[in-house]
A and B are shown apart, each in its own frame.
Chain A
Amino acid sequence: MSAVPQPILRVEDLHIWFDLAGGGELHAVQGVTFELKPGERMGLVGESGCGKTTTILGIMGLLPPSASIAGRIELEGEEILAKGEESIAPHRWNDIAMVFQGAMNAFNPVQRIGDQIAEPMELHGTATGKTAKAQVRELLELVGIAGSRADRYPHEFSGGMRQRAAIALALACQPKVLLADEPTTALDVMVQAQILELLLRLTRDLGLSLILVTHDLPVVAQLCDRAAVMYAGEIVEMGDTQTLYHDPRHPYTRMLFAATPDLLGDDDVLSIPGAPPRLDHEIVGCPFQPRCDSAFEPCPTVHPRTIELGAGREAMCHLNDPTATEAVS
């Protein structure tokens, strides 16, 4: 037996397509594979449209009807994708829950916050009546809101408090995995710091595993142990956050860091030329090649393999592949 803890969540070769209105398909997620260990905090970063939100909606089984999905999703060893809704539904919110993007603004304005948090408890049968009420108070206290405020309405909460309540809502059925989609994006920096501290405390105290979806690299650097960088529907690099910053092995990761101004940094902030490719037709070669500053011979024609670069570290770039140039000839 190895001492390495078993992953709580394993995603293997996940593909998601959307049917387009005018015919054709958009291949939004193209073979995403990763593992999440118990208590681990993982960041999923990338530009808009790279497939990060689609990936976690796929894991939640909450894709719109126009989407189709393939691959494997294992929750504590159990394959939950095989039977579609039937196999995902028992786990949704009970084992795996989500803080949606903009969730803080999605509360029903005419219903008390406490009742809205109790709703999933009653729906999933984890608690009802008085027990649910008591659990709501506990949950609110846990996220840093006085339990007595359960009777208040959303408009009586500030933005930061509504975001805390949205996190409490996700924790209503005591999930093991929390997926948070841009949970701090619309918040002020001080409130952002409060929410990041809360997420850190929840993973430490409750052993919750977290996937943080964001476009903000410094937020990931602050909160997460590990990060996966997504581009055009693929994970192009993965590793612990320190190594990603100090030794990026995919040019996109390096260029993304260089495009992010750092508070104390002196280096020039450089934009990445061009735009991500459209995903409604097949991409030949490396999807990042047209924007890449290090592209060479094989890049326009050969799609790079994912190369393992040590423990939990991988990159999808020909620069790491000694056989890459041979493939061209």
Chain B
Amino acid sequence: MSTAETLLEVEDLVTRYPVPRGFVGAVRREPKLQVHAVEGVTFNVAPGEMLALVGESGCGKTTTAQSVVRMVENDSGSIRFRGQELSGLGPSDMRPLRKDIQMIYQDPYESLDPRFSVRDTIEEPLLIHGVKMSGDDRETKVREAMERAGLTPSDLYIERYPHELSGGQRQRVAIAASLVLDPKLLVADEPVSMLDVSVRAGILRLLDSLRADGMGILMITHDLSTAAHFADRICVMYLGRIVEEGPAKEVVRNPQHPYTKALISVVPKRDPRQQTEPQILQGETPNPVHVPAGCRFHPRCPIAEERCKQIDPELHRAEGSQTDDHRAACIMV
């Protein structure tokens, strides 16, 4: 994919966190340990595309998102936004770009300031970014963002405070506050997991309409069903790596990597008749401080062979893939 049509290009991203070893540990010369949160992740997001990073807790999906918005410093690799390299940029160089890259968070009960009215919350980004406009223009801008986020009629909500809003409405306020700057890329970290089922669909459809208007969306989720429905493409992560990627429907209906297969088999379905025999992996995702050698999934893999302990597999088109852009990191497929 060429730069012209790509909004975000992440290449070989590595982000690690140091493990504090304490004074005694330092005196004893214990080795400095690191959490290998993200270990070589590559993906692109195009304008008008929703990419879902899917995986269990500790797989590195949130760290990936935080690296992209530069809330955490990556160790190596590149993050290019509209061709411009972000990694290594200081806060002041980053600031003008923040208008274009906005983030929404999981918990709309905590992400809004309880002392800010809806107007204050949505207006604040304009003030912070020093957008030069009159008070009336700002008001218009705030109301436009509210309309886009589905807070209509805006008169009904604009004077309210967070405690006067439901969870779904709060998330819409958070989205409106990110829309007011007309971002090109929206990073959404578990945008609906705290919300009631009945309002989730509304928020997801809202994100979908923003995508249709040309915004690029990077969605972080643990919910494969949501990703299958709303994302264009899915990247499945395990222990800091992408183990499978491809068009959303392809990945879900024709999974190739044994981890994706297991994950999909255990997702409960709405229809009791469609429940399949779950292929339950024993144990839990290993600690990302001590990543297994070779394929990092081999200790839990049902089809692992001896050589999987040595070979660290790369993403490639699997034999069962229907399309070139559906790739898995497993030497057995």
Contacts and interface: CB of A to CB of B under 8 A. Distances in A.
Contacts of A246: 271
A306 interface: no
A157 B199 CA distance: 34
Interface in A25-41: none
Given A192-B266, A193-B266, A272 B198 contact: yes
A190 interface: yes
Interface in B254-285: 262-264, 266-275, 278, 280-281, 284-285
B268 A221 contact: yes
B166 interface: yes
B263 A222 contact: no
A47 B196 CA distance: 6
B267 A263 contact: yes
A217 to B, nearest CB: 6
A264 B254 CA distance: 11
A328 interface: no
A222 B275 contact: yes
B205 interface: yes
A97 to B, nearest CB: 24
Contacts of A196: 268
B205 A263 contact: no
A315 B4 CA distance: 57
A269 interface: yes
A48 B153 CA distance: 25
Interface string A239-265: 001100110000000011101111111
B271 A221 contact: yes
A215 B270 CA distance: 12
Interface residues of B, number: 40
| Secondary structure type dominating chain B contacts | helix
Nearest to A49: B196
Contacts of A216: 197, 268
B201 A269 contact: yes
A7 interface: no
Interface residues of A, number: 40
Nearest to A191: B284
A308 interface: no
A116 interface: no
Nearest to B197: A259
Nearest to A215: B197
A271 B270 contact: no
Given A193-B266, A246-B271, A261-B226, A271 B281 contact: no
A245 B272 contact: yes
Given A158-B284, A190-B281, A197-B278, A259 B268 contact: no
A1 interface: no
Max chain A Cβ within 10 angstroms of own Cβ: one of B197, B204, B223, B273: B197
A190 B280 contact: yes
Contacts of B198: 47, 255-256, 259, 271-272
B69 interface: no
Contacts of A159: 57, 284
B138 to A, nearest CB: 30
Given A190-B281, A222-B268, 6 more contacts: A159-B57, A188-B222, A188-B284, A193-B280, A218-B268, A222-B269
6 contacts: A48-B196, A159-B284, A160-B284, A221-B272, A245-B271, A263-B224
